[in-house]
Amino acid sequence: MLRQVNGHSSGSDAQGRASLKGDLQEFLGGEAQLHQVDDLTKVNPVTLETVLRCLQARYTEDIFYTNAGCTLVALNPFKPIPQLYAAELMQEYHAAPQPQTLKPHIFTVGEQTYRNVQSLIEPVNQSIVVSGESGAGKTWTSRCLMKFYAVVAAPPASCESHKIAERIEQRILNSNPVMEAFGNACTLRNNNSSRFGKFIQLQLNRAQQMTGAAVQTYLLEKTRVARQASSERNFHIFYQICKGATKDERLQWYLPEGAAFSWLPNPENSLEEDCFELTREAMLHLGIDTPTQNNIFKVLAGLLHLGNVHFADSEDEAQPCQLMDGTKVSVRTSASLLQLSEDMLLETMQIRTIKAGKQQQVFRKPCSRAECDTRRDCLAKLIYARLFDWLVSVINSSICADSSSWTAFIGLLDVYGFESFPDNSLEQLCINYANEKLQQHFVAHYLRAQQEEYAVEGLEWSFVNYQDNQTCLDLLEGSPISICSLINEECRLNRPSSAAQLQTRIESALAGQPRLGHSKLSREPSFVVLHFAGPVRYHTEGLVEKNKDPVPPELTGLLQQSQDPLLMMLFPANPEEKTQEEPSGQSRAPALTVVSKFKASLEQLLQVLHSTTPHYIRCIKPNSQNQPQTFLQEEVLSQLEACGLVETIHISAAGFPIRVSHQNFVERYKLLRRLRPHTSSGLCSAKGPTEQPLCAKEATLQPLLQDILHALPAVIETARTPGDPAETTQVPLYCGRTKIFMTDSMLELLECGRAQMLEQCARCIQCGWRRHRLQKQEKQRRAAVLIQAAVRSWLTRKHIRRLHAAATVIKRAWHRWRIRMACLASKELDGMEEKPMPRAPSSLSSSLPAAHTKLLGAIIHLWPLGLVLANSAVGVRGFQRKLVAHACLRLPTGSPSNKFQTPQQDEAGITSIRALPRGSIKFHCRKSPLQYADICPEPSDSSVTGFNQILLERHRPVQV
């Protein structure tokens, strides 16, 4: 095994390390490439040394999260990194289609649990077990996960209940500062060590929105109130009230600056957790008003003053122990803060009341100095334990939702890590016992149960050896004899028990246990237990008394007489409860010990974990000095060995972490049957890890399941990228007798195929709806067109009828006018005689050219034609004008009488148009408004006047 600390050799194992480096040289290559391996299952070979080097390389590059198959390994950076837990990063992991493709993070685990709740695959409830040594970062991890769920599980902004949900989320987040202030303390290994275990149940409704939460606590280390180890501190809340109280509060609580308290060691150490305002604000958000807060802090101040009460040894055993010098003031102050009678408080600590005999006679016996100190400490522990339980109940009443409003939950388990101190007692025994149970749960769920399930389902599997801690659990809780049973038996025996006697009994009764060690060099009575994380030596001195946890009835009666409102609520005067606690005679039931109550609560917790889908986060502590950028390989190596990480990597890399029953598989992926090819020849090409057919007993499966399995090659073929080789596709899926086994990649393919089929179904629905909508719109358009056509045709017919009527009127008027004009013309022709047409003046003819003279003569005789020529196109001259005149007159081309052949015709004018008609003549000019034209364009010598005179010129000879 490689033994190296920060790259320095340790001496005699140099050759072994050199050979190992030579074997791993090809894999390691360069240190710069190791930090890119984000999954420890990808390293080759998978050994403790290679995993250690990979984690160290990533830690050096400030990469603190690494996947280890089914587990997330989290290294404590020991420095604040705000951007690593920003809200924008939470949204990025939540909005990613496949969060597994992003960098490893605790948000990946949180998003996976949230999507598992959304998918409603049994079991729906999820749980996250955050484990590790003290100081590895478990509390911080749980806190960040709660913030993540508060962000991603928040209702939309448009929801009416958004303010209510936001208030619930804020209360859930505010429960952390309060729980840490009253339940965490500074230890040798961690400045913010949880001295109790808690299981936070985040409650979600049907829409996967957070509606509330519930907190369950386990085994508060209440002995820390009165006793603290060297270099350790009391609970944070005591230091917060001493450092953060105002002047008025100091006067009210009798906490002057610079005051020394026996139960407040190392007050000069300033920690980040000593933030009094944050705790008060969180308590206010949880519904604890300011007067109640002041009452709580006043009681805590009374406990600090109670710790300064010291007794001196009494010379006479019949007389009670007297107070030491300067202690009476502390008694008076403590009694005033707790609102107790000073004499009764002092008498309860000095004198013990004994009831004996059938008649229950009462005897008063003075206590020794040790007994007085024990009763004083018991009084403080009793008050603080009741106060802590009351705070938990207040938090639950503030954040817990009604049982009908939530359907699923995500559990966060944050328990104390494995502890091994120089002086270990009952608290460390219970803490390590809980870690052993959780380690067994992990081993049973991911190692042993996985291999056994493969064998039951008919999957051939090469079994991997793993470290089983069942022998250690048999030593601690086995039947009929174990360490816990022996300690409980000593408590039930009504006899004084010595530490040496308990050690001898444990060693003799459990001599054959392999996990029981011996501490021959220890001067104090003790025994050694070989835990999965290493050997721990437990002192037997005071072990039985702590397990009994005796509460003298005088102390309870004293606190019931307090006038303080908080103590009256914590210790109500209930005679019925008193009679149940102290039955008379031999019918008295055995009292519950600390170990018995802790074991019962732990069994209840494990039942909850077994009913959920667990997810594991392994927190690793890089060094014991809490220094950033310091990676001690030996310490990390021991933690990797203890948690069985390498065995987990082996099985997760080679096996199938996803297991779904046939029924759930068919119900979720029956849509994929549509991808089944018509000519299916079986699934022999898809093989499991042992190169066997995909389904050995295909005939016994349901037809739906067979159709889905036959469609898997098509799903993989569809998901294949164009660059992949076109070889035979192997399906990473195995069909067992009752379950379907698959890898994460296969699950992604199935989900992708299912999403595509749902998208196709949605498109079909959309196409049908759009077709229906377009058809309806087309029918409406056609109806509108028909209506418009009918209206337009009716309007057109109406308009045409009006035009036809108007045209008829105009036609009748025109015919009437034309007939009238014809009648007038005939009358005028009938009364006129024919006269010769005078010749045009010679002076005018001689002064103009011949062509112009001819044209002028035509204009004179044909002045209506001049109107047409005047309106003709500009620039028409000469022959073109003649063509225009010819076109206007429409004279036949073969008749010499209608052509301008000789100048004589031009000079003499035109014969009567009416006398010699050659066809219909139409003048395309506007008609003169004058009914009779009596003015010629040129003065004429002819005595005949009027327009109709032209019509009489047919009998007139033409002058040449």
The answer to whether 133 is a known ligand-binding residue is yes
- Backbone phi and psi for residue 50, each to the nearest 5 degrees, phi listed first: -70, -40
Burial (CB count within 10 angstroms: exposed 0-12, middle 13-18, buried 19+), residue 706: buried
Q: Give 3-state DSSP helix, strand, coil % of the chain, rounded to 5.
A: 55, 10, 35
Which of 577, 550, 576 lies closest to 379 in space, CA to CA? Answer: 550
The answer to whether 411 is a known ligand-binding residue is no
> Interior CA angle at 533 toward 432 and 20, to 5°?
170
Q: State the Cα–Cα distance between residues 199 and 72, nearest whole angstrom.
A: 19
The answer to whether 512 is a known ligand-binding residue is no
- Backbone phi and psi for residue 351, each to the nearest 5 degrees, phi listed first: -125, 135
Q: State the Cα–Cα distance between residues 393 and 390, nearest whole angstrom.
A: 5
Q: What's the alpha-carbon Rg for the chain, to the nearest Å?
A: 55
Residue with tokens 């979720």: 668
Helix (H) or strand (E) holding 290: helix 290-307
- Backbone phi and psi for residue 238, each to the nearest 5 degrees, phi listed first: -65, -40
Distances (CA, A) of 631 to 7, 22, 617, 624: 10, 23, 19, 10
Residue type, 900: F
Are residues 205 and 161 in contact, defined by beta-carbon separation less than 8 angstroms?
A: no
Are residues 857 and 837 in contact, defined by beta-carbon separation less than 8 angstroms?
A: no
Strand order in the sheet with 516-517: 516-517, 526-531, 534-539
Q: For residue 611, give every residue at least 6 positions away whose Cβ sits within 8 Å of its Cβ, in sequence order, or none.
A: 123, 125
Helix, strand, or coil here: 622? coil
Where helices occur in 221-289 by DSSP H, the ranges are: 236-244, 247-253, 276-285
What is the token pair recorded at 644? Answer: 């069985």
What is the token pair recorded at 790? Answer: 């009918």
Q: State the Cα–Cα distance between residues 123 and 410, nearest whole angstrom.
A: 11
Residue with tokens 């079986």: 682
Number of residues assigned to the chain: 960
- Backbone phi and psi for residue 174, each to the nearest 5 degrees, phi listed first: -75, -15
Are residues 412 and 142 in contact, defined by beta-carbon separation less than 8 angstroms?
A: yes
The answer to whether 135 is a known ligand-binding residue is yes
What is the token pair recorded at 662? Answer: 């046939």
The answer to whether 136 is a known ligand-binding residue is yes
Which of 379, 268, 393, 384 lies closest to 331 in space, CA to CA? Answer: 379
Known binding residues for ATP are: 132-139
- Give the residue numbers of the binding site: 132-139
